[in-house]
Amino acid sequence: MYAAPVQKLIDELGRLPGVGPKSAQRLAFHLLVVPKEEAERLARAITEMKERVAFCSRCFNVSEAPECEFCTDTRRDPQVICVVEEPHDVVAIEKTREFRGRYHVLQGAISPIEGIGPDQLKVRELVARLEPEEITEVILCTNPNIEGEATAMYLGRLLKPLGVKVTRIASGLPVGGDLDYADELTLGRALEGRREVEAP
């Protein structure tokens, strides 16, 4: 349909997650009309990222160095690990400024229907960290959907017998939410996880 290089770009863009053929076409034509420097900047950003960024050898977060900034930061609590599914979850937790421990990125979640089991995730690597790093608490911070819950339950069963404290993030109502909009599953859990009010 289009000149070969344009079609090639459309095909490549169309492979990206969340980009369908129409979006790919729109992006390709946008890149066709922008100044050359702008397009080159994008191309450079991609190659530079692929060349310079890899995964932290300890926690499997994205990192420029062999070990990421969280694993090498001595001000962080080295004995508490927060287990997340993806590197972008690390960013979400960091934004809260509530956590000062270290991370472990599983690089996915258990999904029986997709055929993804514990062996495809960085589970063995997590277990291997417990003893040498003298970990006292593992916080299971996977998503509260079926895959994340399955992963958390699996890890709970695996880690508990090893004598480490295993906790799961709370699940309930989002700040600013309305009770009558909450679904029964969420509200039920929020009730179950209630806390005693402390005297102000």
Interface residues with other proteins (CB under 8 A)? Answer: 18, 110-118, 144-146, 149-150, 153-154, 157, 174-178, 181-186, 188
Report in angstroms how near the CB of residue 64 gets to other proteins at its nearest: 27
Supply the minimum distance, in Å, between the C-beta of residue 153 and other proteins: 4
Least distance (Å) between residue 106 CB and other proteins: 15
Shorter beta-carbon distance to other proteins: residue 98 or 178: 178
Q: Where are the alpha helices (DSSP H) in 15-136?
A: 21-33, 36-52, 69-72, 87-96, 123-130
Closer CB to other proteins, 34 or 92, in the complex: 92
Task: Give the single-character DSSP code of 148.
Answer: H
| Upper half-sphere CA count for residue 128 (Cβ side, 13 Å) | 7
Considering beta carbons, is residue 130 or 150 the nearer one to other proteins?
150
* Minimal distance, residue 95 CB to other proteins, in Å: 11
Distance CA 169, CA 144 (A): 9
**CA gap 42, 31 in Å, rounded:** 10
For other proteins, give the closer residue by CB, 39 or 169. 169
Distance CA 69, CA 108 (A): 21
Q: Cβ closer to other proteins: 7 or 145?
A: 145
**Would you call 151 exposed, middle or buried from its count of C-beta atoms within 10 A (0-12, 13-18, 19+)?**
buried
CB of 34 to other proteins, least distance (A): 23
| 57 or 145: CB nearest other proteins | 145
* DSSP class of 116: B
Closest distance to other proteins from the beta carbon of 107 (Å): 16
CA 8 – CA 57 distance, rounded (Å)? 35
Q: Residue 178 carries which side chain, given as an amino acid letter?
A: D
Distance of CA 148 to the CA centre of its chain: 11
